[in-house]
Amino acid sequence: MSVENTPSLSVCLSAMTAKRAALITDSYKVVKRSRREEKREKRAPSPPQKDTEPRPLTAREIELQELRQFDQDWRYGPCTGISRLQRWERAAQHGLNPPQEIRDMLLSADTDPDYTHCLWSDYPL
């Protein structure tokens, strides 16, 4: 709303000042107006872009996403500071029945740090 108000105000001001002397603000005013018009033009087409399909996730990304879900599952306790396999073993030992697929995923890629380390492993402690 303020955007619509100020052009009229600046128009009045420029009308008043143009009679006295040519100020630098005259040139700025023109630039501002055009920028605002550009912005208004840009806003219109942005919603349709979201309708396009996101690119499909690779198998590795799907697995990583599942591992992240395993990290965030509250039933198996905290995930920081220990590897995902250690957390899985702990959950199994306490009878919480963690899904076997997670363990298979972890054992198949045991040298990949994205698989073995938890979500927050980049952060200290």
Binding site for other proteins (CB under 8 A): 74-75, 77-78, 80-82, 86, 89-90, 93-96, 125
For tokens 């920028």, the residue is: 35
Output the smallest distance, CB 124 to other proteins, in A: 9
Nearest CB to other proteins, comparing residues 6 and 121: 121
Nearest CB to other proteins, comparing residues 63 and 87: 87
Nearest CB to other proteins, comparing residues 52 and 93: 93
Nearest CB to other proteins, comparing residues 63 and 88: 88
Burial readout 41-73 (b: 16 or more C-beta within 10 A, e: otherwise): eeeeeeeeeeeeeeeeeeeeeebbeebeebbeb
> Do residues 103 and 113 lie in contact, with contact meaning Cβ atoms separated by under 8 Å?
no
- Interatomic CA distance for residues 2 and 28, integer angstroms: 18
Output the smallest distance, CB 109 to other proteins, in A: 22
